[in-house]
Amino acid sequence: MENKESSTDNPVCGSASSETSQTGLSVLPSFGIVIAGHGSRNKKGVGQFEAMAEDFQSAYPNTPLTYGFLEFSKPTIEEAIEENIKKGAKQIAIVPAILLGAMHLKNDIPSEIQYMQKKYPDIRMKFGAPLQLHPTVLRVCREKIIDAESSANAIVPRKDTCLVIVGRGTTDPDANSQVYKLARLLEEGMGFGASTVCYSGTADPDLKQGLRKAQSLGYKRIITFPFFLFTGILIRRITDAIDDFANSFPELEVLKASYIGTHPLILETLYERATDAINGEVVSDCGLCKYRTQIVGYENEVGQPQQAHHLKVRANADGSTQAPMQLPTWNSNLNPNDSTPTEPENENFEYIPHPIEVDSFKHIEQGRDWSVFPAQNHTILQRLVHTSGDFSVPDDIYISDGAIESAHRAIKDKAVLVTDVTMVQSGFKRQLINALQLVTYSAVHSEEAYHMAKIQNITRSAAGIRLAWQKFGNDVILAIGDAPTAVMEAINLIETQNWRPYLVIGIPVGFIGTEACKTRLKTCLRVPRITNTGTKGGSPWASTILNALIIQYVRENSRKNT
C-alpha cells in the first residue's frame, strides 16, 4: 500500500512551506476551514455535529467554514472542500473533529486531501491534528465528570471512587494507549482512588469486562465517562450496558458522565488546530508537558524548575558512588496553587527571628499576665497579639485539648496545609515552609472549584475545601481565615463523611455567618480545632496561628536535637 504520509508537503503534519514567514505565521491574509467528521447512521449524532459547525461559524464569522463526512452522512469531505473553494478560500485547513488519531485520520482523510490537492493544485490545503488530549479537552472531560458527581444524592471522597473511561477502540495501538493516558491524567489530576479503561469495540477489554474489573476493586462509587465527541449507536449501547450493570449490583453507586458534546473550548481547540496547520506548526507530545501548559490538576506547575528525581546516587568514573543526592520528596501530584518546596528538608533547621521581632515579643511578654493561659498556648496567643496589635485578642481564642500536639504530628507527617483563600497562603513564612518541605493548597481560584461551585450552588471557598477532602483525605491541616462558608463545609464533611483533618483553624472575619460558624466549630468535638468568638479574625490571623504552630514545632525539635 502506498504510504500516504511520505510526500514532501505532508498533509498530516501540516509542515511549513515557502509561503511561511520568518515568524512562523502564514503571510497569506486568510484561510478557510473544513471540519471533517466520521459520519454516523444516528441522526441525532449527525445533528449534534452540524450544530457544532453552526456554533463554530458563529464564533468565527469571518472564516469560510464548511464541513463534510467520511461515510454514512452527507456532504462528503470532497464536497465540503469544493464548497469552501467556492466561498473564495485560497488556502484551506482541513481539521478533523476526531478525538484520537487512528486509521481514519492516518489514512482515509489524508487520501481525500491528496486527491483534492491534485484536483485543485492552486489551492493550498493543510491537514490539522486531531483534538487529542489537548489541555482544553481535559478540562471539558473534568467538567463532565464533576457534573456526574453533582447528580448524586450524596458526596463521596474521590479516593473511594473508581473512574471508568470508555474509549471507541481501534486497531491502532497508539490511539488505544491514549485512552489509558487520559484515564491516568484524570485519575491523578482529580484525585480518584483508581481508574480503569475499556472500549466499545475492536479493542480489549470490552465494556462489560471493564465494569466488572472496576466493581471487583471494591470502591464505593464508579463513574463512567465515554470518551466520545457526540452521541450515536455506540453511545446508546454503552448507556444500556451501564444500566444493566448497575441493576446487577444495586449496592454499588454507578454514575454516568456525559460524552463531550459541543463546548466552547472544543471550538477554540479546533480553531487552534486550523491555525497550526496553516502555519506549519507540528503538534508534539510536549503539548501535555505540565511545565509548559496548564494540565488538569497541575495548573500551577507551569514554569516551575524541573528537578531530577531519579539520580539519588551518581556513579563516578571509577565505578564508585557518591553520597545520595538530597532531592525533594514532596508529592508533585498535589499540584496545589501552592508553594512547592525549593530546598531539601533540614532536620536541624532553627527559626532565628529578626532583632525587631525579638524586641516586639519582649514587649508583648511584658504587656499582660500570660499565666492565665496554658504555657503551650503562649506562642499562638502572643503571635496573634503581634499580628493584631491588640492585647485583648487572646481572651477570645479557643484552642481545643490536643490541638497543638495534633498540629505537630501533622507537620512531622508532611500533611498538606489547606487554606480557604490565597491570602492565608501568602501569610505563611516561606523560610519555614521550604525548610520543612511542606506543601500548601488553595483551590479557590481553580477552574475545578469554579465549576463545582456553580453546579453545587456553593461558594468557591467551600468548593476548595471539598476538593481538599476529595484529593487529600485526612492528611491535612485546614487554615480558614476568610470564608464562613468554608468553615461550614468543613464541619459538614466532618459530620457526614467522617472527615478527620489533623486540625481545623477556623477564624474568619466579618458579620454574615461568622459567629455562627465559629460556634459550630467550637462545639464540633470530632476534630482538634482552633477558633475564637465574635466577628474578629481574618486571613492574617489564620496564617499567624499556623506559623506559630510551625515555629513551636521547630523549636521543640531543636531542643530535642541538642
**Helix axis angle, 264-278 to 43-59, nearest 10°:** 70
Active site residue 408: no
DSSP 23: T
Residues 6 or more apart whose Cβ sits within 8 Å of residue 178: 100, 132, 133
Spell out the alpha helix ranges (H) of 151-226: 173-190, 207-216
Alpha-carbon span 63 to 73, nearest angstrom: 24
Alpha-carbon span 535 to 513, nearest angstrom: 9
Question: How many helices (H) and strands (E) would you count in the chain?
Answer: 19, 14
Which residue among the candidates 134, 309, 363, 386 is catalytic per the annotation? 386
Q: To 10 degrees, the CA torsion angle through 229, 235, 239, 242? A: -80
Cell (9 digits) for 553: 514545632
Quick check: 499 and 469 in contact, CB under 8 A?
Answer: yes
Q: Please calculate the CA angle 280-283-285 and round it to the nearest 5 degrees.
A: 155
Choose among 98, 26, 93: nearest CA to 66: 93
> Which is it for strands 253-256 and 221-226: parallel, antiparallel or unpaired?
parallel
Positions marked active-site: 386
